[in-house]
Amino acid sequence: MTNPTDPAVDSPGKPNLTLQCGLGDSTPIDIAAPSTPRTPADEGKEFFLSERSEGEAPIRVYEFKLGADGGPSKEGSYIRLPPAYTPYILRVSLDAGTPASKNGVFKTNFPLDGGAFERDRFTERSLPTDLSKPIRVDLPISHAGAFVYWVEYDGDAPGERIKGREGYFNVDPILRVRARTSVLSSELKPLLPSEGGAKLLPELVNLPLDALSILTVVSKWMGRISHWKVHFQEASDRGYTMLHWTPLQERGMSDSPYSIKDQKKYDLSVFDTPVDPQTASTRMEEILRIAKEEYGLLNLTDVVLNHTANNSPWLAEHPEAGYSPSNTPHLTPALELDTAILEFSSSLSGKGLPTRVSCQQDIDTLMASFADHLKTKQLWQYYVLNPEEEKAALTDAFLSNAIIPWTGEDLAGKTVVDLANVVRSARLIEGEGTLTSRFVTHVDGGVSAGFIKAAFPKLGNDVDALAQAWARVVDVLNVPLYAEWEEDTEIALDSIKNRSKYIRLDDNGPKLGEITKDSPLVESYFTRIAPQWHSDPGTYSLANNGWLWNADPLVNFALPPSKAYLRREVIVWGDCVKLRYGSGPLDNPWLWEHMTSYVTHSAQTFDGFRIDNCHSTPLHVGTAMLDMARKVNPDLYVCAELFTGSEEMDLLFVRKLGVNSLIREAGNAWDVQEFSRIMYLFGLGKPIGSMDEACMTSVEELAPPFGKGPTRPCIVSPLNGSTPHALLYDLTHDNESYLDKRTAEHALAVAGIVTFGYCAVGSVKGFDDLYPKLLRLVEEKRQYEVAGLSDNSGISRPKRVLNSLHREMVIGGYTEGCVWRDSNYIVMTRMHPVTQHAYVLVAHTAFEKRGKERGPFKPSELARTRAKFICGFAIEILSHEGLPAKLIDLPEVPVEQKNLTSEPHCSFGPPEYFPPGSIMIFETQLEQVDLELDKFCKSDAESAFGGLDLVDLNVVLHRADNEERDITAGKFGVYDIYCGLEGWMHPLRHITRRNDLGHPLCDNLRRGTWALDYVVSRLAYQMDDFPNLAAPVQWLLDRFDRVKSNAPAYLRPKFFAIVMTEAYKAARRAVIEQCSEFVSDGHDFTHSLAMCAVQMHGVVKVCVARPTAGLPHFSTGWARCWGRDVFISLRGLFLATGNFEAAKNHILAFSSTVKHGLIPNLLDSGRNPRYNSRDSQWWMLQNIQDYVKMAPNGLMKDNGFNIDIYVDWDTGLVFGGNADNCGTWMDKMGESVRAGTKGTGAPIEITGLVKSTVRWLDELSRKGKFPYRGVERSVHSEDRFVTYGQWNDLIQKSFEKHYYIPLDPSEDQKYILNPSLVNRRGIYKDVYGSGAGREWSDYQFRPNYPIAMVVAPEMFDEHHALHALRLADTVLRSPLGMKTLDPSDRKYRPNYDNSNDSDDPSVAKGLNYHNGPEWGWPLGYFLRAYLYFDTRVGEGKDDPTTTLHRLHRALLQPRNHIQTDAWAGLPELTNENGAFCRDSCNTQAWSASTMLDFLEDVHEYAKS
């Protein structure tokens, strides 16, 4: 069966992006080739512009979300995408209003608009500018390669453009091979080639990278090219799909395939008769074509970019291609040291020294003598200053009057040591550390003359005395330089000693023989290629390549400041000269042209590259070469082995080079646990029962990515970022055999385990044949034996089955797996996620020599599953050398059928004879598979949940514990946070995105059906109160009953997740569809805030009113419903979301409770309402005004209530409140003494609300829509009728004078204030006219004035207002809200703890509630005010987007919080700098409401 996400067979309706011809005709078919060749990108564009074809499958869309700064997360910095069998879409999305969206431009070097790929040519897509809607950019992907992207956007400074972090996406190549029949018979028995098993078929199939089975071969051991077909047949019969060829080029003198003599010539020795290079190339290409077309074997070769053979003929003509002292001068002393080793090695017998090493004493003797020899070379001269030359240069400067006066610090009287320190700190020394020549380190004579003259003024012009003084300074300067030389020499000698011991004495070394000039003490670091005896050795002595322990792969160890060659730290390859590319082609034109020609020709010939020594390949070289290779072969497969020692560094190479697979080695595992870990990391695929594909994908309509063309259906899948794909080898060609590393028997177990990995797999010729030892690439002269599948072919028959099954399982879509270990056993399972058909491998590992006992193993128990034995093998090693060996076919292993826990089970385990190294394979099939269960669970959710109203949806989606217990009389509570769907979705989002099947919820679901029963039962119980729940209850019941009946326990988490996810999506859609256009067309943050309206608006029995102030603290009882909270929240949660009926009902409900002009602050269901606030009624009046303006037909009839307040009719300001009254939201009533945050004056927010109300009433009155013109009042003991217009004018006239605190103290006389109480200027007072003894509270800087700015902006001087807002932005704004008090205020206490019972009166009983803790809801008013004033007189006056983007930055943390917090809301308050506050409601109505208010303002602003 084909995996729809990684298809192996062409789907109908797709363009023919990769042209294939019939196997009977090797000539490519020419289809009207245009004059300008069409590229894959052109074909992809053409596809999206063309009309849909009949039967065309939905387009795949892979969506990746960027961060606020336009860059990917660390884990998302690399994305691996599937082959473009059919063009698809990479969708890049980011949240609206994030910094990166400010005039943002998405850039990538993928040729989105067609044409050929060029690394430095970028296509741009402008990001949408609507801040109210999600930002998406759809990128049509049509071909393979490695690509980079980033977002560029406006910064804060004028004209500044910011480049976001780069991200990378690699598209897998399309590989196609001949199809094959199954390797198993209909009775599940392995078939040999003669029996038709795994027979090659004429048609071609797409081969995903995971289906690759690669065999490494060394051509020089394959005999003549005419004999290669038998090797092809053997590899094909053994189930391989690709041959990895070590380099086929002409080899250098060492005969190593990796020491290439001429990159443009194939090895002529493989041909039967002498041929010229061109004929050799043609015949080599032909034999590789035969391997591919006749034997189903793709071809991959090593590409060696780092070095060339030391006898490459072109080196003498182009010595600049290597590193020499001539072009890399710091190598000069390293060459001298290397020459000294050669001299010493050729003189041993004359000195009476041992010429053969037989013991450690010989090594010590030789090294002691060499150390003496090295001293004669005086290499210290490359480090230090020459005192005599320094004195001479100084003297010459005096005599030629070339003194450069010293202008630095006073030097007179300083010691010689101090003077030396000044010389160093002033950087007067030239040439230090360059090592380019002897005594290159020096100080300019004119500089030293001026310096020493200033240091010794008493010496006057006595040149000799001054020269001697300078020499003393030079002696001090040389001290650390001599020390550096001594350290380098010590390290070099130690390296030479260790290396000589390894190559001449150690048992695991090559044990080289006599020491001579041609076989020196240690390998030479330089190849000397001088064409003539008099040629310059500095030009024709080229550094050999090698590697360093723990080296930074990004640092070229042949370039300064590296001293690796001088310190003899390079593990050198004496047969290879390191190539010098420079920074680009201009630095070495011939070499770049030569190597580019080599690479492009190889890319035309082969299907893939293995980048040899990739970690030492300069990144810019590898990138450029692979770019050129992909131009001639866009579907080139690239793999590499990296030894960087860092996953992060590995990823850097993968991203930059476009490496498709990183080579991993199973042989690195030292025990069962480590092997299991390797297989889990690189070969698991997805765990069995994975949910991401089922739960995270969505079906949508795809708009034409080019603006033209048809709309297409699409399937959208989110991306999390990728890890590098693995090519997992059981054994590589340069590693010791398992006989040497573990045991010979272990090989079969490793082969089985590796091939059951969902990844590309590889092996080396000889592993299947059980070759006992590593074949040395240089020394080995024998040729391969072709054993086929014969009795003496080692484990080739099992390997044929394993390789074939590996290919069949990947192509068939067996994406899910399990790795399980038990004692010395590893069990690998590969399962198809739909059919539940699986193959199981049981492998008995043999990491160490043990007896032939089976050992402990717990048999596999599989519920509702039938199993059948396929085959099993063991090997008997007949010699401790590893060969010969006997392959044993295990007899049929019976499967036991039994009943456990009322369900049928099958059980199987190893037979009695199952020695270490054995494997067996079973087929399993879940019985009575419900193939339609997935589809059924996803069906009809819209109709089931679409009929629910918002109160019903509160029951379905939310309900805190106390709410649920209240309405169900204690029968139901919560599992975690909410009883409804939102409570389940918090863990499920993580589980489904990461396939975290080890989560406790999954364990709970596997153990039983309690969660399923709970979800249905709690809703069914409440159907009498909420009859609309009948439809969702029945929908859930139908699906869960079918899951219980048809899904085994291990799949229960998956299907529970599918049902809950579909239900949640349908319920959430039902909410959004009942909301206003502002919400329904908005982005995710708007939607999540709108969900809070449903969260807060539910029914409980003990409280008549529905809204709660916050959860969980205000869920039920007397504390649920607060007048002030309702009316601060009503605009955002009800009016902005379009729930006008609920808004009206709440206004009317509270209007009915008016008493003495007040409404209750705490309603308590009407039983004991508390009329203890003086701002609640003003908030209600503001809401009535908002309702009238926002709701259709919103003008309500007069309800005839009057408001009894105290007004200062000289100013129009409203005063009131007392010590026992919670006058405003900041006047908390404590248990001991009052918090004391506001006095009895006129709070600025009430003044703003009053101003807004009387202004509005005046407008209504003038239009005849309100029957009252004003109020009857006693003003200065005289009854007067004050119109609303007059009242409005009084406030307007007096406001700034009474509230503003000017920046400039000289302006204080214009305002009513006491300068001695001013703490901060350029702000507005929080209160005007606090009572006696509390006058200081007027001047506190708090976040209340933005409320007045929003409801009555006309009161404020616009420039004053904007300055105060900017101050609030820097002083008061916090991550999730606003500080309730200026941190510079002496009463500032930012951390709230209601349980504090200390003797500190400022915090006891939580009385610092509003003296520093950071409340959420004022943030919305601050943002609204800032938007208003900044677009009028600030940065946004000329460009409003500047303001909008600035303010949207303040939304980043609230947005992240609501999306990640389990309560799915915004908290009531936080402690200092956004820290969690345990006494806060986790989700608060007004916190979400005012944020919706701001976003609705933005929406309306954009519309206007």
Cis preceding linkage at 884, omega within 30: yes
The span from the CA of 132 to the CA of 1085, in Å, is 9
DSSP 1155: B
Q: Name every residue whose Cβ is closer than 8 Å to that of residue 198 and which is 6 or more positions away in sequence.
A: 180, 181, 182, 183, 191, 237, 239, 800, 804
Reported in sequence order, the residue ranges of 1424-1477 that DSSP labels E, i.e. its strands, are 1469-1470
Residues 363 and 501: beta-carbon distance below 8 Å: yes
Residues 209 and 760: beta-carbon distance below 8 Å: yes
Task: Identify the sign of the CA torsion 447, 452, 458, 461.
Answer: negative
* Buried/exposed 1240-1278: b ≥16 CB within 10 Å, e otherwise: bbbbbbbbbbbbbbbbbbbebbeeeebeeebbeeeeeee
- With 0-12 / 13-18 / 19 or more C-beta atoms within 10 angstroms meaning exposed / middle / buried, residue 982 is buried
Alpha helices (H) along 1202-1283? 1244-1262
Name the nearest CA neighbour of 1239 among 1348, 1313, 1124, 1332: 1332
Residues 1029 and 904: beta-carbon distance below 8 Å: no
Structure-token pair, residue 1036: 């859930």
Structure-token pair, residue 49: 């512009």
The span from the CA of 616 to the CA of 644, in Å, is 9
Q: Name every residue whose Cβ is closer than 8 Å to that of residue 403 and which is 6 or more positions away in sequence.
A: 397, 446, 449, 450, 453
Name the nearest CA neighbour of 390 among 425, 438, 459, 441: 441
Strand 698-702 and strand 712-718: the pairing is antiparallel
Task: Identify the sign of the CA torsion 1460, 1465, 1471, 1472.
Answer: positive
Which residues have a catalytic role annotated?
Answer: 612, 615, 734
The span from the CA of 964 to the CA of 983, in Å, is 13
Residues 736 and 746: beta-carbon distance below 8 Å: no
Residues 653 and 644: beta-carbon distance below 8 Å: yes
Alpha carbons within 13 A on the beta-carbon side of 1496: 26
Cis preceding linkage at 561, omega within 30: yes
Query: What is the C-alpha end-to-end distance of the chain, expressed in Å?
Result: 55
Name the nearest CA neighbour of 295 among 227, 222, 236: 236
C-alpha to C-alpha distances, 574 to 311, 318, 522, nearest whole angstrom: 11, 19, 10
CA dihedral 1378, 1379, 1380, 1384 (to 10 degrees): -150
Quote the longest CA-to-CA distance of the chain.
131
Strand 865-877 and strand 885-889: the pairing is antiparallel
Bridge partners, 244 (sequence order): 216, 300
The span from the CA of 667 to the CA of 731, in Å, is 6
